[in-house]
Structure 1
């Protein structure tokens, strides 16, 4: 099971989001902290990442609410992740899904491939609902689908980890 030190930059962020962490399956273990891990910054000329802090220590996840110029809302790789909370973010469940998404990247899972891999993770009933959902012009980028896809990716990662 992957273990992460989950750093919330402020106590307010921690109080807001920690109660919702149960949404993330227990395959992921967390030590929850308030503060900032050692961070580095990606290419400061790239508008996607300008001013975006990324943790240096392996196993660190950083959740922050700085007003920065970067367009990115999160990033994850090599057992590290960073998640940005903006003023526009009102849905705490969606923010925890963003954390889950980035820690899936941190363990090497293709969390951006929900649509591309739909045939792999959807049950027959999911496929029917997916088609109806699309016929009603509903956006696929919705918590309902993310929860299902991330759960599948987590099970996939657990089966690989269990086979080692």
Structure 2
């Protein structure tokens, strides 16, 4: 099971979001901390990543707020992840899903490939619902589908599949 030190930049972020981490399966274990780990910054010339703090130590996740001027909402790779919480983020469960998404990236899972891999993770009833959902001009980029996909990716990781 992957274990991460999960840093919340402020005590306020920690109090707000820690209860929602229950959405993330127990396959992932977290030691919860408040503060800022050692970070580095991505390409400062790329407007998407300029100012985005990324943890240096392996097995570290950093959740930060808008006081840090960054544009990207999250990034994860090489057993590390960072997640930005904006002042417009009012759905704490959606933020927990964002954390789950980036932690999946941190362990090498293709968390951006929900639609591309739909045939692999969906049951027959999911496929029917997915098709009906889209026929109503609804976006599949919603928590309902993300949870199903992230659960599949987590099971895949637990089975040792990259």
SS at match of 1:31: strand
Name the TM-score, length of structure 1 as normaliser.
Answer: 0.96
The answer to whether 1:83 aligns with 2:83 is: yes
- Provide the residue aligned with 1:98 in structure 2: 98
C-alpha contact (below 8 Å) 1:67/1:86 kept by paired residues: no
C-alpha contact (below 8 Å) 2:66/2:87 kept by paired residues: no
C-alpha contact (below 8 Å) 1:49/1:71 kept by paired residues: yes
Question: What is the RMSD of the two structures over their aligned residues, measured on CA atoms?
Answer: 0.9
- Provide the residue aligned with 1:57 in structure 2: 57
Shift, 1:68, TM fit? 4.4
- Provide the residue aligned with 1:4 in structure 2: 4
- Provide the residue aligned with 1:155 in structure 2: 155
Shift, 1:71, TM fit? 2.4
Distance in 2 (alpha carbons) for counterparts of 1:50 and 1:91 = 25
Q: Unpaired runs of 5+ in structure 1?
A: none
Shift, 1:66, TM fit? 2.9
Shift, 1:70, TM fit? 3.2
Distance in 2 (alpha carbons) for counterparts of 1:9 and 1:134 = 38
SS at match of 1:22: helix
Q: Unpaired runs of 5+ in structure 2?
A: none
Distance in 2 (alpha carbons) for counterparts of 1:10 and 1:69 = 16
Name the TM-score, length of structure 2 as normaliser.
Answer: 0.97
C-alpha contact (below 8 Å) 1:47/1:69 kept by paired residues: no
C-alpha contact (below 8 Å) 2:7/2:60 kept by paired residues: yes
- Provide the residue aligned with 1:36 in structure 2: 36
- Provide the residue aligned with 1:123 in structure 2: 123
Distance in 1 (alpha carbons) for counterparts of 2:150 and 2:59 = 19
Distance in 2 (alpha carbons) for counterparts of 1:30 and 1:81 = 13
Shift, 1:67, TM fit? 3.8
Distance in 2 (alpha carbons) for counterparts of 1:86 and 1:153 = 26
Shift, 1:2, TM fit? 0.2
